[in-house]
Chains A and B, each alone.
Chain A
């Protein structure tokens, strides 16, 4: 396929493979020895983010070539299509306009007016709750808010709430998250809360998500047992966030308690929309708007910066290089900050649900690999878990190290600040030491006698480091938008649609049939022998318990 800008993609792939062959035998330690200014050459800044690619197994020529690959795949054109609101989610005939959620309020297209209108509604709700004037059905003040959602309606808000704990509004109420369909979270939570002062947010774009509706049903029954089944109970204790107004209505949520979103917001891109209500409840609308502003700054950077200066594009192309050229199919996300505890889970969804595809936009099988297996954990804790494999295992793994440069400068840490800053520096030291050891292997150690084999570090494991000035709403917005655009840019290179998720639909349908069998206590053979066998075992266990 010949692109608009010249060199055909196949040619560039070929050149990249040749590059890789040339670099193949050069250990990262050697690259640093050969190029003393690697950091200067291979690190970039965008707003509050510093991206250090110098510990990747590439050089500036690689980046140039990768830029040519982006051109060959017409990344510029696709970015324009994304921001023009074209229906680039072609399998669902939808646009993907999460960026429109964070455009500053001055712009007034019809879409922008809708966005601002929902933000205004959200503001009124947040203000009322923060003023301690949202009342339960008995007139009690709401003190606890429970977000019921799953996937994008859960991971995004939960991850951001946790990450921005230090930016919490003084008037913030307690927020809780419930997602798991088996009811274990909701049952645990309901034991601790008072129905009189608890408000639930049912967050579901389609308002048909079975996990969420079951959890919401359990919550509703819990409230009604304590407070009666007057419709006012739902009116006082539930807010709905969905694009399906009629379904919220049917469920009993009054208009005044509804927040809308649109089919042009994908679930995993939706924390910027009304789905972000728990975030606004945690950090206030001022903080929420700063989060949006940080993301908007990254949007503008992504649209304008040339490839070799473009942080999200460089993140994407580095990933392509590692996956497709170096053949590394595992990627670890390692934040060195406990507040980013849920970031690995969030990014697993963002990247794997978006780019875990094997069919191109033209309906052909993708000829190359796509999204690697991605997982992660708070870095210092992971050091005591799976780092062994990173350092001495047989599988190559690339890593993203993520850390804030500054921490504990907020007023609230006043008294313990000195000790906590000490702990932060300890975490940073570990972060830098681990990426160094992964890259350099034994070369990072002081010279000495030969170590026995089992104590040796082969090194040469690639990693990127993302340093954020400090973890505040603005910089977190920029960081998350950078990952969103990374995902989009990779999808363009791989020629796939990152905005659909057909792979998660079929399982839901089969589960519906299976549920009937389990509820019916079926023992007869109707599915495969494995499923039949498991269902009968459940039936036997239930019967035994009833005796």
Chain B
């Protein structure tokens, strides 16, 4: 089949690569932005095992090509995948309107984006608006369930495929598109579109709640002089709980956890529904983003004026240059408000930071992590890039004005850091 994939998410790239690898003719249309720029410069925006190779192979085979996201699918296209970022909902709406305007054309649109619950149904209404009688059209929802680090694997050999679909015609077509990935046994689970969307929301909410809970426990551990890392491992050993998403830290960021996504769609909101628990989880997370600032503020007895602080990591997670809702942003703004000069190293996010804040005297961007630490009164480890797991403590000690290390991800060994001559603060551990 001829399929178009719109989007700049990891899901978009994985979907395009996987579908073309099974023989579909795929056009990948990446909206303008950082991801598109990197792809154009022949760099991979996402570090996923096998992804780059597969994209190259499929392009060479001629089954995968790229096109502009401004352009509409050609007439022969039978399926349109939307793997857009949460902020691109208006883009999705205008795209659907343009598809709808081709009155005689039959469309199957597969929405993989993290939009609020109810969006797929409202997109379907738009798509069917004004269609000629007898023309099949549907927008279905297939929430992305990619496991980062094993994204291709999880798309091509899924343990389950959630599809939100209310049309027999659409079901036949999506089954055919995904047939190669659904062979051993049928793992496709069909729900109503809003149920599929809600399931995705509930998964995100559950993960966020686990993190929020662990951060809450970490604050208590701080006060009770308990090492949260020991507690975490003890909890994770219980099979009813499991090990995933139990890491306390200085807050999570990213678009998937944004308030916008966590809230139900406007159409549902009028019913007055809202989740008090998720509201609290997000609030706790916002507070947690400043936890390193509070530790620093107390360490220096509420006077930070004129100090220099180094941030290692600004991206909201390792492996990306994105800074959406990243804790580093809140930290920097808090530090600046107190008259602190911030020196930042990040393997990927520096251009985004530069674009966001422009030139300012109290922001120094450094390509080298040790250069960033020069003259610093504190080093804050904010994103757990692999580059930071085993620092050269002697070098750091020489470079820094004060040997103070705040580990926002609990990746260092407190005893070893201390024995290297540093004052150490972790999250829920000292």
Residue A138, interface by CB 8 Å: yes
Residue B66, interface by CB 8 Å: no
Residue A77, interface by CB 8 Å: no
- Per-residue contact bits, chain B 116-146, to A (CB 8 Å; 1 contact, 0 not): 0000000000000000000000000000000
Residues of B within 8 A of A137 (CB): 298, 302
A139 touches B301 (CB 8 A): no
Residues of B within 8 A of A (CB): 290, 293-298, 301-302, 333-334, 337-338
- Of A128, A133, A141, A232, the residue contacting B302 (CB under 8 A) is A232
B298 touches A133 (CB 8 A): no
Residue A135, interface by CB 8 Å: yes
B337 touches A139 (CB 8 A): no
B333 touches A135 (CB 8 A): no
Residues of B within 8 A of A128 (CB): 337
A133 touches B290 (CB 8 A): no
Residue with the greatest number of chain A CB neighbours at <10 A, chosen from B294, B295, B298, B333:
B294
* A137 closest partner in B (C-beta): B302
B294 touches A139 (CB 8 A): yes
Chain B interface mostly:
helix
B333 touches A133 (CB 8 A): yes
Q: Could you jot down 13 A-B contacts, CB within 8 Å? A: A128-B337, A131-B333, A131-B337, A133-B333, A133-B334, A135-B338, A137-B302, A138-B297, A139-B295, A139-B296, A139-B298, A141-B290, A235-B302
A135 to B302 alpha-carbon distance, docked (Å): 8
Within 63-113 of A, Cβ neighbours of B (below 8 Å) are at none
Residue A471, interface by CB 8 Å: no
* A236 closest partner in B (C-beta): B302
A463 to B298 alpha-carbon distance, docked (Å): 60
A137 to B333 alpha-carbon distance, docked (Å): 18
B290 touches A139 (CB 8 A): yes
Known: A138-B297, A140-B294. 4 other contacts (CB 8 A): A128-B337, A131-B333, A133-B337, A139-B302
Chain A nearest Cβ from B169, distance in angstroms: 39
A455 to B302 alpha-carbon distance, docked (Å): 70
A141 to B294 alpha-carbon distance, docked (Å): 10
A235 to B294 alpha-carbon distance, docked (Å): 16
- Of B298, B333, B338, the residue contacting A138 (CB under 8 A) is B298
Chain A nearest Cβ from B226, distance in angstroms: 19
Residues of A within 8 A of B298 (CB): 137-139
Residues of A within 8 A of B302 (CB): 135, 137, 139, 232, 235-236
Residues of B within 8 A of A133 (CB): 333-334, 337-338
Residues of A within 8 A of B290 (CB): 139, 141
* B270 closest partner in A (C-beta): A415
Residues of B within 8 A of A139 (CB): 290, 293-298, 302
Residue with the greatest number of chain A CB neighbours at <10 A, chosen from B296, B297, B298, B333:
B297
- Per-residue contact bits, chain A 132-152, to B (CB 8 Å; 1 contact, 0 not): 010101111100000000000
Within 204-225 of A, Cβ neighbours of B (below 8 Å) are at none
Residues of A within 8 A of B295 (CB): 139
A137 to B334 alpha-carbon distance, docked (Å): 14
A141 to B337 alpha-carbon distance, docked (Å): 12
A138 to B219 alpha-carbon distance, docked (Å): 13
Within 198-257 of A, Cβ neighbours of B (below 8 Å) are at 230, 232, 235-236
Residues of A within 8 A of B337 (CB): 128, 131, 133
Chain A nearest Cβ from B345, distance in angstroms: 24
A139 to B333 alpha-carbon distance, docked (Å): 13
B294 touches A232 (CB 8 A): no
Residues of B within 8 A of A230 (CB): 301
Residue with the greatest number of chain B CB neighbours at <10 A, chosen from A135, A140, A235:
A135
* B297 closest partner in A (C-beta): A139
* B291 closest partner in A (C-beta): A139
A135 to B301 alpha-carbon distance, docked (Å): 12
A137 to B301 alpha-carbon distance, docked (Å): 8
Chain A nearest Cβ from B360, distance in angstroms: 16
* A230 closest partner in B (C-beta): B301
Residues of B within 8 A of A138 (CB): 294, 297-298
* A196 closest partner in B (C-beta): B294
Residues of B within 8 A of A236 (CB): 302
